[in-house]
Chains A and B, each alone.
Chain A
Amino acid sequence: AQKVTQAQTEISVVEKEDVTLDCVYETRDTTYYLFWYKQPPSGELVFLIRRNSFDEQNEISGRYSWNFQKSTSSFNFTITASQVVDSAVYFCALMRNTDKLIFGTGTRLQVFP
């Protein structure tokens, strides 16, 4: 079965705190991709990152970083020095060779000033 679990339903932090959003996935495939999308209060979905199953290197983009560990089937997302503009719902998603995305249930992040 293919499944994505985001156990954290909602996280609240104060501005400048670091925060990590967890994502655990299940798949029997050896080739797959993992994604993170951001959904701000305005409602649209914004692509953040794609990572394939053969590339376990961590990635950093500004204040965002991603940690992919196949041994634990996790693809966690960390925001360093969070800002109010980071407040959104964040979705982790899995894509197999069927080209269909399987989404997690999302984590709502609230960053307070």
Chain B
Amino acid sequence: NAGVTQTPKFRVLKTGQSMTLLCAQDMNHEYMYWYRQDPGMGLRLIHYSVGEGTTAKGEVPDGYNVSRLKKQNFLLGLESAAPSQTSVYFCASTPKVTVYNEQFFGPGTRLTVL
């Protein structure tokens, strides 16, 4: 099993450009999450999904959109990138057996917005 994978690993955007980050998991997990990690701030939740076709806002959702059309994939979109969105983005998933399961994280995507 590959676990949680993220595409791409690195990306540089210019202000105003758009892009989509892809998260895929092969563990049949119900719940998926997108976080951003900034220096000195830990990880903050952007959006999450508790199942196929459902999404919800996290702590810092502004400027991002998400979609969960397939259970194994969770997409994070930036419609008009801003320098403030320069960050490392992590995707995570967890099974539905109990909400208190640990989350399994992907390797991260380093995004720079110029």
Contact = CB atoms under 8 A, between A and B. Distances in A.
B99 A99 contact: yes
Residue picked from A4, A98, A103, most chain B C-beta under 10 Å: A103
B42 A105 contact: yes
Interface stretch (A14-22, A40-48, A64-72, A73-81): A40-48
A66 to B, nearest CB: 14
Interface of A: 4, 9, 33, 35, 37, 43-45, 47, 50, 52, 91, 95, 97-101, 103-106
Contacts of A47: 102-104
Contact of A105 (B40, B100, B106): B40
Interface string B29-58: 001010000001111110010100000001
B99 A97 contact: yes
Interface size range on B against A: 20 to 34
Contact of A44 (B42, B48, B108): B108
Q: Mostly helix, strand, loop or mixed at chain B's interface?
A: strand
Interface string B73-114: 000000000000000101010100001111111111000000
Nearest to B108: A43
Contacts of B43: 45, 91, 101, 103
B100 A43 contact: no
Given A44-B107, A47-B102, A52-B100, A101 B88 contact: no
B105 A44 contact: yes
B94 to A, nearest CB: 8
A50 B90 contact: no
Given A103-B42, A105-B40, A50 B100 contact: yes
Contact of B105 (A45, A50, A99, A106): A45
Contacts of B102: 35, 47, 50
A18 B79 CA distance: 48
Contacts of A4: 42
